[in-house]
Structure 1
Amino acid sequence: MGCRRYAVNDTGPARWIRRVTVPVVLIALVTSAALLLGRIYDGPTVTWLTAGSGAGAVLVGALARRLPNWQVAPLSILLMGCYLLATCWWTARQAELPAPATRLLVDAAVNGVPRLLTAMIPMEPVPDTVVVPVVASWIAGLTAAEIAVRGRRMLLGLLPPLLLFGAAVFVVGPNAEPARWPAVLFVAAAALGLMVTATRPAPAGPAPVDSAPLARSTAAPDQPSAGWADGLRLRSTLVSLAGAGAVLLVVVLSAPVVVARISTTDVDPRRYVTPPQVDSLDENPLIRISGWALNPDQPLFDIQVGAPPGDTVSEAGRSATTGAQLRLRLAVLHDYDGVTWRVGGTYRNAGRVLPPAPATETNRAEADRSLVHQRITIDELSGRLLPAMPAPARVDGVRVAYDAASGTLLHPEGLTDGMSYTVDSVPPPPASNALITADVPAGEAVARTLRVADGVPAELSRLARQIAEDNGAPYQRALALEQFLAEHYRLVADAPSGHAYPNLGFFLLGPREAGGQRGTSEQFAAAYALLGRLIGLPTRVVVGFVVPPGGTSVHGVHAVAWPEVLFSGIGWVPFDPLPRPDSVIRPVEEDFRPAPQESTPPVEQSPLPPVDPVPSVPAAAGPGRQGSTPGWMIGAVGGMLGLAVVGGGVFGVLALRRRQHRHRLTGGGPADRIGGAWLEVVDALRLAGHPAGVHLSASEVSRHSRELPGIDALPDLDPLADLVNYAMFAPDDADLEQAGVAGNHAIGYVDALRARRSWWRRIVWSLHPGPLRWHRRRTSAVDTAREPVSLT
């Protein structure tokens, strides 16, 4: 055995047994890897295609063993190309992909590996997910055949199938049950191949009887005798037994460690590959509501709803398609940092059949008789997110990525005008009486939907407590919150966009005459979700479209945001906090009880001691009388006092401004210093006459600072904005080096901006007392880093 070449000069049946057994063994080894890999695919198609690829390569190598080496490889590669084209054509036909096979093959060759590692399991057999396993199986079969058949080194020929099997194990990872039978098949086939190709010493037969003395006397010195052959056979057996014993001992000693390591470490290559991402337009589609509200006639897409072809709609599906409204989801936003709501989903490339979302698993059992069919044609809707009814179970016509946590769809190549696709969705069940007594889940699994960022205004917390104080059950709290928003706030189309803490505070408690208590569905949904989390309800915000049932053209007027609440055993339930068309809106001041003002006890007046009367001095008779003060002296003294007051004020402002600057950049911890550097930049923008808006985040302020009218070539504030965001989310991890870098960025930007002002404006800049009072209400510089820029 070993890596020596096995003999091929056998005659009779033994020779043909080896020639047939070695290719069969190699095909069995490749097939075992195909069986293992097929466990993460939908159906047996990939198993057959991968096994056929390896078998074809082995057969080509076995049948062409008489050809020269330089001819076998090109012939095998040519046949592999034909096999790949046939594979792409077949899988594209099964997946109903309209593109030609050659184009699909080129695209799969370029993007096959990342799409294979980002695809949702179970994966659908499409060219993207099939080409890489087929090529790997063919190469492994070709290499193994060249080594084991042509090179006659069976042990070394086991290496390519072993690498293919290990790669299959790595790709499958923890996404399937342990594969016992493929491993048994691999070991059995390898043992059979080694046994058949084992090299045995040539036996020494007895010499002819009539010439035995002559044969023994004239035998060559290196000719083994019968005794020597028996000894060699015995030694070979003992060595084999010792080697097998050593291997068995190593397996016995290392098996517990290996099994324990495998059971505690889930190695999944998908965690190292970035899945398809939403673009900046779709990361927070909530801000698009205002734009659509101002352009109500903008055509976004067309939709036709009905039963799947050749099927009927169940009662749940009929109520979803014939009701007063039809809800289509575009994005689901779970994460809120006090400034913006974000999608935060993990999208995986998916086939046509989608796995159920966690909230719809109880409904998917009736999927066959409750599917609702939608045909959607994109018009002017941009981005990558695809609108669809909840919860999609099948998508045809386009390549999609799917986020199972939210049940939303993404088209990695982006939406284009005229793009058409179909979706079969499982409609949510109608509201049941179980909601009245349903509880809401708690724990780490729903911590994401209960998290509230720091810096919530006290008035909002007080408002949430007041709404929930007379409603104990979760569903009653959710209904009370919906009713409160619908009765006290007005829905308008021209309200400014924004859902940060200051924006929601102004929307909920701002005076009506100043524009408060009015907003778009963006503010209604965001306010509901925030107040719901403050009273213990797991909430999220959904951006989508509410359209009439049946077929219709969806425009900007149909775009809306609504909140959803998660109930145990039921799933996500939508709520509608928008006011009804015929409702009378009451000012929030009529029902909201603000915090009582702390009364100050009256100061007890102590009796004053008696004062002796002062004798009156007779008034002077005229300006020329003796003892009168000259007017010029009074003016001089007054002028000197005025100059002293002005000079003292100037000196005081300069000293306080200098002390403030030094305290911001060198006082407190690293996070406070980073926040102080940000305050320097914010004050500089205001002193320059270009203040940043109250709704802008740090990154948006950085972009605003680069676009100041009439001012060019300013330093870039993106590194400082990144440090501010880092200090906002992880203040305890900031260090002094980062604080120093932030201070240098702030000083450089402020100096450059001030240098571009005229000389007298630079003087006003230095003497302006505004920075001393603009941020007095903040307890620390970190508060500024954690809240939007304020102009008050």
Structure 2
Amino acid sequence: MVTATRAPADPGTPTEPTTGRPAVRLLRALPVPLALITMIALAGVALGRVYADPLLTRLILGSAIGSVLISVAARRLPSWLVAPVSVAGLAGWTLFSLRLAASHAALPGSLAEVTADAARNAIPRLLTAMIPVEPAPDTVLLPLVAAWLTGLAAAEVALRTGRVLLGYLPPVLLYAGAVYVVGPNADPAIAPTVAFAAVAAAGLAMPSHRDGPASADPAAGLAPTVRAAVRLRLLAASAAGVAVVVALAALLAPLMAAQVDDRPVDPRRYVEPPQVESLDENPLIRISGWALNPDQKLLEVRTEAGPATPARIRLAVLSDYDGVTWRVGATYRNAGRILPVTDPAPGVTTDTVRQQITVADLTGRLLPAVPTPREVTGARVAYDPATGTLIRPEGLTPGLRYTVTSAREHLDGNLLATANVPAGEPVARVLRVPDGAPEQLRRLATQLAEQNGAPYARATAIQDFLAEHYRVTADAPSGHAYPNLTFFLFGPRNGGGQRGTSEQFAAAFAVLGRLAGLPTRVVVGFAPNGDGPVRAANASAWPEVLFEGVGWVPFDPMPRPDQEPRPVEQDFRPPPDDPPPSQVPEPTLEPTPTAPADAAAGPRADQHGPGTPVLVGGGSGALLLLLGLTLLTLATLRRNLTRARLERGDPGRRIAGAWRELTDALRLAGHKVGDVLAAAEVAEQARRTLADARTARPGQPAAGAVDGGPDELAGLLNQVAFAPHTTTAGQADRAAELATRYATALRATRPWWRRLLWSIHPGPLRWRR
């Protein structure tokens, strides 16, 4: 009986060896998975060059091992089950990694809160984080997820379909992305790149578990004339491939060589760093409001370590002056728990101060700390290394408690008398005097500078002049524009002039200092009396001057409490044609706080390049493009496989290929054909499967000619098995028609999403082996 014949394997497909020692099979199965794991891990090494410690590299290595090993272990499962299993593993590894990173960075909050925050802010914080980046949940989430998905995609393509070179594409893209994110912020990744290329080449060169005796010569077993033609085509294809590679190398090598000395593009310049609110851009004008409410509790301070003498707490540093307002003008970068350390200038000693600070009524984003902070726990911060100031991007809230460890500097006063001040472009920002400076201010600065030649003597003269001639009053109007400072310095005493808060004293010192050639800035902060509440009465502003070899030196132009100021006219008399101002300038109004969402809504006007939405959209578009290319590749491979089975070869091969199309259709419908079934039994199973599917879905066409197709195709298959030389081209065409009709009819009974998946399912590419 011919019906006892078993279905033959796919014609022309090498048979996988069933014998051999387990050690040999294991050795042949290892090279490609090990190469994929190593390549993904090397991408982590390349990205880890901008991280503060190797935690990120270890997490990416775990993602590489987990994703590839799950794909290896699940090779016997249907391909559509591998992705859910791998994603479940990704979820577990991600939660473990985020918990480890949160503990490493000492971040407060539950795992759910940390995970939600990291998912919302992973991309912008990664691209705005200060370098070296601390491995925190928001800075490790995106790399480890990308590494896991890379391992999943690479393993499925390289191991299931056997296309190792195509499987290398995801790790190559991941490595290129890591190098791009690093940009110019680290040394060239020469060693990882060479190792990456070497591992990729080794993975291609090593024999795989699919290599067998039949694969040694693809033309083995063919007739001599056919074998010669096949070998000639293989030789021509190989020569064409080599020619394409050589041509590409000759074309691209000069272009790539020309880029060796170029500075890489830094993607961080396209992303808006955290910004302060309008309330914090000029906190100097808040001094007058605090002076009118001296009992308002702003902070609670407890010193945990450090000297017994109270430490001055700094809130903001204002370096930019436009003739109207002093502004912060800092560039804040998201930072981890440990902040960058800069060596103090020669002659400057430091001691460690650790304070626990609890926020009360202080609002805004600026985070108070003793200068210079080195470690912050209990709050996520952004840091400006140029000024040593902190912000909390989410804004301050009552009850916020954090701990700051700072390196408080102590200056050697003996160095100041002979210290010079820097000049030139590096300090042009803190030397700039805006246009429109009143002549009286220029004349006063010139008079003080002429009488004192050394920079420190000039700064001391300005300090003493302000302390000796002006008085402090809490109800002085706010303002530090040129008209306000002119009235403060030269206005009549009986008309409200020559009095002010620390706002006017600090701003007047800074402007007079710049007019006298001193690099100056204004600092806003608090001078607590010790541990306990820090109230509005403790708020103050003071000027600082930059000296070479020493750094920024604070000055105190405030008058002594027991000293009666003498009139300005005794030391400085304006010319008769330049009388002192008599009209009180308009006070500067304190801006209303900007909502956190509005403050970070758009980029600054002076920044160029796409912002975060563009980057996110571009990244999403790239992912969609990659997904589309993957689906297109699978559809093309499936279509080429069907054409090869139904249209190429002698009639016997085409009939066997048609039978394989029928059995693949059954398997795609969820009915795997048993290996021990005869052809007639498979045909019966095919007819029953189609009938049941039509019954389960009303509206399908009634039984027709297609229902007898499996039996007729089984008869042709048996003819191939027992009388291979009697089959004709017409019978092969009939077999192709029957297989196509059956697959189309069975596909039409599937749900819509299964019909979409039918043409791109990678299963037939693997089952044919």
TM over 0.5: yes
Deviations 1:327-349 (A, max 9, x none): 11000001111111111111111
TM superposition shift of 1:569 = 1.3
Distance 1:56 1:513, change over 3 A: same
- On the 8 A contact 2:347/2:415 being kept in 1, the answer is no
Distance 2:67 2:449 in 1: 70
Query: Which residue matches 1:336?
Result: 321
Distance 1:266 1:565 in 2: 36
Query: What secondary structure sits across from 2:558 in the alignment?
Result: coil
Of 675, 694, 699, the residue aligned with 2:586 is 694
Q: How many equivalent residue pairs?
A: 573
Identity rate, percent: 54
Distance 1:332 1:6, change over 3 A: farther
Give the alignment of 1:556-567 within 5 angstroms.
556-567=536-547
Distance 1:327 1:366, change over 3 A: closer
Structure 1 or 2, whichever has the larger Rg, is: 1
Give the alignment of 1:339-350 within 5 angstroms.
339-350=324-335
Q: Does 1:592 align with 2:572?
A: yes
Distance 2:559 2:14 in 1: 89
TM superposition shift of 1:452 = 1.3
Of 553, 558, 574, the residue aligned with 1:578 is 558
- On the 8 A contact 2:14/2:215 being kept in 1, the answer is no
Query: Which residue matches 2:288?
Result: 290
Distance 1:272 1:138, change over 3 A: same
Query: Which residue matches 1:568?
Result: 548
Query: Which residue matches 2:601?
Result: none
Distance 2:304 2:529 in 1: 13
Query: What secondary structure sits across from 2:356 in the alignment?
Result: strand
Distance 1:578 1:496 in 2: 17
Query: What secondary structure sits across from 2:301 in the alignment?
Result: strand
TM superposition shift of 1:244 = 5.5
- On the 8 A contact 1:363/1:426 being kept in 2, the answer is no
Query: Which residue matches 2:140?
Result: 130
Distance 2:121 2:89 in 1: 22
Distance 1:334 1:6, change over 3 A: farther
TM superposition shift of 1:195 = 2.1
Of 154, 173, 177, the residue aligned with 1:163 is 173
TM superposition shift of 1:481 = 0.4
Distance 1:203 1:465, change over 3 A: closer
- On the 8 A contact 1:526/1:563 being kept in 2, the answer is yes
Query: Which residue matches 1:655?
Result: none
Distance 2:117 2:264 in 1: 31
- On the 8 A contact 2:367/2:392 being kept in 1, the answer is yes
Q: Does 1:498 align with 2:476?
A: no
Distance 1:205 1:134, change over 3 A: closer
- On the 8 A contact 1:292/1:559 being kept in 2, the answer is yes
- On the 8 A contact 2:134/2:335 being kept in 1, the answer is yes
Distance 2:325 2:236 in 1: 78
TM superposition shift of 1:58 = 1.1
- On the 8 A contact 2:346/2:549 being kept in 1, the answer is no
TM superposition shift of 1:259 = 1.3
Distance 2:203 2:499 in 1: 79
TM superposition shift of 1:154 = 1.2
Distance 2:533 2:218 in 1: 94
Distance 2:217 2:540 in 1: 93
Distance 2:87 2:219 in 1: 52
- On the 8 A contact 2:382/2:390 being kept in 1, the answer is yes
Distance 1:247 1:516 in 2: 78
Of 102, 105, 110, the residue aligned with 2:115 is 105
Query: What secondary structure sits across from 2:227 in the alignment?
Result: coil
- On the 8 A contact 2:347/2:411 being kept in 1, the answer is no
Give the alignment of 1:407-426 within 5 angstroms.
407-426=388-407
Give the alignment of 1:705-744 within 5 angstroms.
none
Query: Which residue matches 1:259?
Result: 260
Distance 1:512 1:401 in 2: 44
Distance 1:481 1:112, change over 3 A: same
Query: Which residue matches 2:16?
Result: 9
Distance 1:463 1:366 in 2: 35
The CA RMSD over aligned residues, in Å, is: 3.1
Q: Does 1:32 align with 2:28?
A: no
- On the 8 A contact 1:6/1:153 being kept in 2, the answer is no
TM superposition shift of 1:256 = 2.8
- On the 8 A contact 1:6/1:152 being kept in 2, the answer is no
TM superposition shift of 1:518 = 0.2
Of 387, 396, 399, the residue aligned with 1:406 is 387
- On the 8 A contact 1:31/1:54 being kept in 2, the answer is yes
Q: Does 1:354 align with 2:334?
A: no
TM superposition shift of 1:139 = 0.8
Deviations 1:518-551 (A, max 9, x none): 00000000000001011110000000011224x2
- On the 8 A contact 2:280/2:364 being kept in 1, the answer is yes
Q: Does 1:515 align with 2:496?
A: yes
Distance 1:206 1:275, change over 3 A: closer
Give the alignment of 1:188-207 within 5 angstroms.
188-196=198-206
Query: Which residue matches 2:103?
Result: 93
Deviations 1:426-461 (A, max 9, x none): 111233311111111111111110111111111111
Distance 1:10 1:223 in 2: 25
- On the 8 A contact 1:112/1:131 being kept in 2, the answer is yes
TM superposition shift of 1:283 = 0.9
Query: What secondary structure sits across from 2:409 in the alignment?
Result: coil
Of 376, 379, 395, the residue aligned with 2:376 is 395
Query: What secondary structure sits across from 1:42 in the alignment?
Result: coil
Query: Which residue matches 1:281?
Result: 279
Query: What secondary structure sits across from 1:428 in the alignment?
Result: strand
- On the 8 A contact 1:329/1:388 being kept in 2, the answer is yes
- On the 8 A contact 2:352/2:406 being kept in 1, the answer is yes
Q: Does 1:74 align with 2:84?
A: yes
Query: Which residue matches 1:616?
Result: none
Query: What secondary structure sits across from 2:417 in the alignment?
Result: helix
TM superposition shift of 1:7 = 7.0
Q: Does 1:470 align with 2:451?
A: yes
Distance 1:110 1:78, change over 3 A: same
Distance 1:363 1:194 in 2: 57
Query: What secondary structure sits across from 1:383 in the alignment?
Result: coil
**One-letter identity of the residue aligned with 1:257:** A
TM superposition shift of 1:60 = 1.0
**One-letter identity of the residue aligned with 2:172:** L
Query: Which residue matches 2:158?
Result: 148
TM superposition shift of 1:152 = 1.2
Query: What secondary structure sits across from 2:265 in the alignment?
Result: coil
- On the 8 A contact 1:204/1:229 being kept in 2, the answer is no
Distance 1:15 1:471, change over 3 A: same
Distance 1:36 1:398, change over 3 A: same
Distance 1:6 1:391 in 2: 71
- On the 8 A contact 2:359/2:399 being kept in 1, the answer is yes
**One-letter identity of the residue aligned with 1:253:** P
Distance 1:8 1:445 in 2: 72
State the TM-score, normalized to the length of structure 2. Answer: 0.70
TM superposition shift of 1:18 = 4.0
Query: What secondary structure sits across from 2:259 in the alignment?
Result: helix
Distance 1:537 1:8 in 2: 85
- On the 8 A contact 1:204/1:224 being kept in 2, the answer is no
Distance 1:478 1:460, change over 3 A: same
Query: Which residue matches 1:224?
Result: 227
TM superposition shift of 1:278 = 0.6
Query: Which residue matches 1:672?
Result: none
Deviations 1:255-293 (A, max 9, x none): 331214xx2x44111111111111111111101101111
Distance 1:576 1:364, change over 3 A: closer
Distance 2:503 2:108 in 1: 39
- On the 8 A contact 2:348/2:409 being kept in 1, the answer is no
Distance 2:93 2:160 in 1: 23
- On the 8 A contact 1:50/1:137 being kept in 2, the answer is yes
Distance 1:20 1:49, change over 3 A: same
